[in-house]
Amino acid sequence: MTDWLIASNNAFKTADLIKCLAFYGIQAQPYTNVLSPVTFPSETTTSYETNALTKAQFLAKITSCGVIADDSGIEIPALGTHLGVTTKRELHQDVAHSDNQTILLAMAGQADRRATMVSTLAAVQPNQPAIVVTGRVTGQIAQTSRGDYSTGFDKLFQLDHQQSTLAQLPDEQRLPLTHRGRAAHQLAQQLKGE
């Protein structure tokens, strides 16, 4: 099977995931290329794995194609139990600011700027066991949002010992370094039986 559907209604996440998968030889497309838009089940606060599997299995039931779903988040020790699995839901409560602005405001004055981005991918295809992988990348929250090569948290996220944010790196450098890229690499290995 070479053509997977991405189980997401988030256009930015879908585009990034398609790029990451393609980097490792997996062809995918938005599910809306073959189906009308659907409403996915509500996410839980249980785990990235539960959320990704739920989305993938839901879409797989209404199509005969292989489906890949992502659940991702950012974990910032200075913010305690906030974010993580509930990242988007928490950040979207602040309707006056973008997600990145909300994080920068919360981090104002914080000396500890450590952060981890997490991406769990669930791949479901007919008559095969589901595959679940998780990619993580650790680094620091930058003082300002920078970069135009990608969107979202990449504009805030600096790898340790590096001055650039991920969004300041072109795709050929950025993709293997991101949480989603690392998860895509693991998925490609499992699909190839490595």
Task: Return the active site residues.
Answer: 71
- The answer to whether 190 touches 135, Cβ cutoff 8 Å, is no
Query: Sign of torsion, CA 19 23 24 25?
Result: positive
Say how many C-beta atoms besides its own lie within 10 A of residue 166's C-beta. Answer: 29
The residue assigned the tokens 């809306």 is 32
DSSP notation for the chain: --EEEE--S-HHHHHHHHHHHHHTT-EEEEGGGTS----PPPP-SS-HHHHHHHHHHHHHTT-SSEEEEEEEEEE-GGGTTSSGGGHHHHHTT-TTS-HHHHHHHHTTT-S--EEEEEEEEEEE-TTS--EEEEEEEEEEE-SS---SSS-GGGGTEEETT-SSBGGGS-HHHHGGGSHHHHHHHHHHHHHTT-
